[in-house]
Structure 1
Amino acid sequence: MYAVPDGIDELIVSFLRGDNRAGDRLVAAGPVSLRRLIDALAGRVDPGWNASGAEGERCDREEFEHLDRLQGLLARAFPEALFDAVAHDRTLEPAVMRMLKCVEDPRAVPILERGLLPGSGVRWSALCGLAVHGTAEHTEAVVDCLDDASEPTRSEAFDVLGRLGDVRAIDPLLRRLSTDDGHTARRAAEALDRIERRIGGPLAPPVWLELGPRELTTGGAPFGGPWRVMEGLVERGRTVRDGELLAVLENDYVSTELTAPGPGTVTDVRIAVGDEVSDEVVAVVLRARRRIG
């Protein structure tokens, strides 16, 4: 067991509360800061602060961001301590999974690969790491994540497939373009577009499903409303692309983006910057179509 100098836990709490100077002091304290953070995230110690942000768990946005920054800061400062910890105890791998996107080291890859296995509980974090470290060899494992029960995991898998740019992902992505779930179809189309750009041309002439007028609402966003419109980027008559940002909304907890579910022409705009809108208010109406092949 390592010795924990006095004040380490207090510095971690200070950083999570927004004191950036505490980060410099944690780095100056040495690798023990990283090890204490890892053990807290693994639930092995209770240093008196809330190590939230576990896989699939929602937490305060600022707290999540500060924790993510702290993990990256200490992982970059002490990569050897990170890999030594998991080399001696593989059960610590879930606790360090989110740190691996921050280190440029091939030792991260097999840990991330194990994190992709069904039932690992950290698939989303592993996918975030493979967005940095992944290669075409990971395509099949990432495709398997498209059927994960967690929506954030599925969404991240679409993004990683687009980044990897492997043509073997085309058929699984095309199958998901025909789904009735507009969000899934949009993410699949975005991934296909990225693959097309990587290979330097269209995969095939697209096939479009005409959808007619579509009403976009803020329904289903995390934490509920009311929302305030922070930025509006559309006007009547404008042609938009699939996935294009239409407006930015914010409430007391989090920001979210309203994006086009497919290419189309804006036929009506019913929100303006500064408006307060509920979860169910109609925000924009598009005459749209969706790519299905």
Structure 2
Amino acid sequence: MSLRRLIGALAGRADLGWDAPGAQGERCGREEFERLDQLEGLLARTFPETLFDAVAHDPTLEPAVMRMLKSVEDPRAVPILERGLHPGSGVRWSALCGLAVHGTAAHTEAVVDCLDDASELTRSEAFDVLGRLGDVRAIGPLLRRLSADDGHTARRASEALDRIERRIGGPLAPPVWLEMGPQELTTGGAAPFGGPWRVMEGLVERGRTVRDGELLAALENDYVSTELTAPWPGTVTDVRISVGNEVSDDVVAVVLQARRRIG
């Protein structure tokens, strides 16, 4: 099979995500997603010229190629990714993944527009890209999303603001926080796989102050491993595990006295 035919075969797949159907109409599992992502990355790094040649000969392959451009260091990737940012393109998430590597402050406005995309996956990636770009023009749109009723949106906005402010040397104004009280973090909320889970490393102690996204514990069961991370900044007030360093899906692993940024 030629490399161009291989790219064509990849283009025939659905745009993969956690809820994307696989070739047999079934849900795409984590392992399948990771294997295909690794294949695309290997192809892009080994034969970068093939990607651009394929698009030049057949523009319909552009969506498949776009997914691979995050693995290529080539300025020719930028205009392809920019075309994928337009509303209704259907490949905004793929374009954003590439712009996390190739993007500059010039893309800030287009990425901000993606914060209102219908896809939660696309919106989440847009927050990540804005944090990476570090452009102060994104601060206003991000602050407006701190008060969102959707806790996930508010958390991603807070994370992006934190990254931007670290890049510019500190906040433009003192942040405003909402005390959220104790948050009980369980293994059931950390991963969609059954327990019991074994705590392998990184378990925090009472009294420790953590940032949002910081590792609290590395866990594994008989099939997979995962990480328990802090959804919000705060102070660890309790660590609860059962005998033998094992926790089941419904057992609290960490209690965090959390706070949420609202301004």
Give TM class, smaller chain: 0.7 to 0.9
Instruction: Name which of 70, 78, 93 aligns with 1:124.
Output: 93
Residue 277 of structure 1 aligns to which amino acid in structure 2?
S
Once residues 32 and 231 of structure 2 are traced to their aligned partners in structure 1, the CA distance between those partners, rounded to angstroms, is 31
Residue 135 of structure 1, CA deviation: 0.8
Instruction: Name which of 46, 55, 62 aligns with 1:93.
Output: 62
Gaps of 5+ in 2: 21-26
Once residues 82 and 245 of structure 2 are traced to their aligned partners in structure 1, the CA distance between those partners, rounded to angstroms, is 45
Instruction: Name which of 252, 255, 263 aligns with 1:282.
Output: 252
Instruction: Name which of 117, 138, 147 aligns with 2:107.
Output: 138
Residue 192 of structure 1, CA deviation: 1.0
Residue 82 of structure 1, CA deviation: 1.2
Residue 210 of structure 2 aligns to which amino acid in structure 1?
V
What is the aligned partner in structure 1 of residue 124 from structure 2?
A: 155
Residue 132 of structure 1, CA deviation: 0.7
Contact 2:187/2:247 (<8 A) preserved: no
Once residues 134 and 140 of structure 2 are traced to their aligned partners in structure 1, the CA distance between those partners, rounded to angstroms, is 13
SS at match of 1:190: helix
What is the aligned partner in structure 2 of residue 271 from structure 1?
A: 241
Change (3 A) 1:94 1:250: farther
Q: TM-score, normalised by structure 2?
A: 0.85
Instruction: Name which of 195, 203, 217 aligns with 2:186.
Output: 217
Residue 150 of structure 1, CA deviation: 2.8
Q: TM-score, normalised by structure 1?
A: 0.77
What is the aligned partner in structure 2 of residue 54 from structure 1?
A: 16
SS at match of 1:242: coil
Residue 38 of structure 2 is aligned to residue 76 of structure 1: no
Instruction: Name which of 11, 22, 33 aligns with 1:42.
Output: 11
What is the number of equivalent residue pairs in this alignment? 254
Contact 1:227/1:249 (<8 A) preserved: no
Once residues 254 and 52 of structure 1 are traced to their aligned partners in structure 2, the CA distance between those partners, rounded to angstroms, is 25
Contact 1:52/1:59 (<8 A) preserved: no
Deviations 1:180-224 (A, max 9, x none): 333322221221111112212222111111112222234455534
Residue 156 of structure 2 is aligned to residue 194 of structure 1: no
Bigger-Rg structure (1/2): 1
Contact 2:216/2:229 (<8 A) preserved: yes
Once residues 116 and 151 of structure 1 are traced to their aligned partners in structure 2, the CA distance between those partners, rounded to angstroms, is 15
What is the aligned partner in structure 1 of residue 227 from structure 2?
A: 257
What is the aligned partner in structure 2 of residue 168 from structure 1?
A: 137
Residue 207 of structure 2 is aligned to residue 245 of structure 1: no
Residue 289 of structure 1 aligns to which amino acid in structure 2?
R
Please give the root-mean-square deviation of Cα atoms over the aligned residues, in Å: 2.4
Contact 1:223/1:254 (<8 A) preserved: no
